Amino acid sequence: MAIDRYQIESCKRIFYERYSHFIHQTPLWKLPGRALGVDCAEVWLKLEHLQTGGSFKARGMLNRLLSNPIPGSGVIVASGGNAGIATAAAAKELGVPCEVFVPEISSPAKRARLAALGARVVVGGAAYADALHACLARQQETGALLTHAYDQPEVLVGAGTMALEIEQQGGLPGSVLVSVGGGGLIGGVASWFGQRSRVVALEPERAPALFRAREAGEPVDVEVGGIAADSLGARRIGSLAWEVTQAQVREALLLTDESIRTAQLWLWNELKLAVEPAAALPLAALHSRRYMPRADENVCLVLCGANVDPASLS
């Protein structure tokens, strides 16, 4: 199912008119490229880690819940953490029950946040795919509304509202650097910008679902691990994101865990931005020179999540 800009605009209007207390218009911080050690005109930081629940996921999860009838058993989701937190927050906003299946690799900080939001938390296996399998079995028992972490149209549409905000706040960037796990974020971003801006997909070397799919010519299962696996640990790129990125995204780049960690610490030490590893990939792409912007380019970095243990930044 194609995602179009009209759907994204309609979703953004609903957020603005009815849920502006829940879905925030997060800041777009424009800095000279040299302030980040980058040879380009400007670097725009989309501070989406300041979103409700600490990540962009709140947009897609709320849109999913608003777009479907919710049974008495509530909603259910499998998540490495952020999609679960966003679903739990949206469920709390709407006053419905929420059950979240997480893998063993999910961080204690994310599990604690889920519990604080009133969700029932179930550990469902070693990796995200295992948690999803357990979640689907449970959904068949309860009939709860399934919210997928990245592979439902409403989720991509919600994520696309962030891209719409970027354009409203700053105009069209020359490029947008986006972290990829299952592909919900890049699917929404690429659906909004299309070919009007250069959308670049970024993955850790140890979680290369989109990169390997592009090599194979179709989505394939990959082994996942590494520093960002709790957020970007999908074993297979989502079918919707695959469709969108095939049409709209020219580049998919891999980054080392070391470069991701270095960028994460740089954002904290230099700009006092506390983000999780998944949010550091865009800066890592610039600092490692995996992505080389033009000298006159405005580059937008999406800082997608903040669900990190502060102690890990010391």
pLDDT digits (tens, 9 = 90+) for 149-162: 899 999 999 999 99
Structure confidence at residue 1 as a pLDDT band (50, 70, 90): low
Tokens of 77: 């989701």
**Rounded to two decimals, what is the model's pTM?**
0.94
Spatial distance between the Cα atoms of 156 and 153, rounded to a whole number of angstroms: 5
Q: What is the pLDDT of residues 243-282, one digit of tens each?
A: 999 999 999 999 999 999 999 999 999 999 999 999 999 9
pLDDT score at 245: 97
pLDDT score at 59: 98
Asked if the model's pLDDT at residue 120 lies above 90, the reply is yes
Tokens of 73: 């058993």
Phi, psi of 3 (to 5 degrees): -105, 125
Lowest mean pLDDT among 23-32, 76-85, 93-102: 76-85
Nearest C-alpha neighbor of 151 from the set 55, 239, 244: 239
Domains and CATH numbers, the chain: 5-55+152-309 (3.40.50.1100), 57-146 (3.40.50.1100)
Q: What percentage of the chain carries pLDDT values higher than 70?
A: 100
Q: How far apart are the first and last CA of the chain?
A: 44
State the chain's mean pLDDT as an integer: 95
The answer to whether 170 touches 44, Cβ cutoff 8 Å, is yes
Nearest C-alpha neighbor of 184 from the set 165, 156, 219, 214: 156
Asked if the model's pLDDT at residue 81 lies above 80, the reply is no
Lowest mean pLDDT among 126-130, 165-169, 225-229, 276-280: 126-130
The answer to whether 133 touches 124, Cβ cutoff 8 Å, is yes
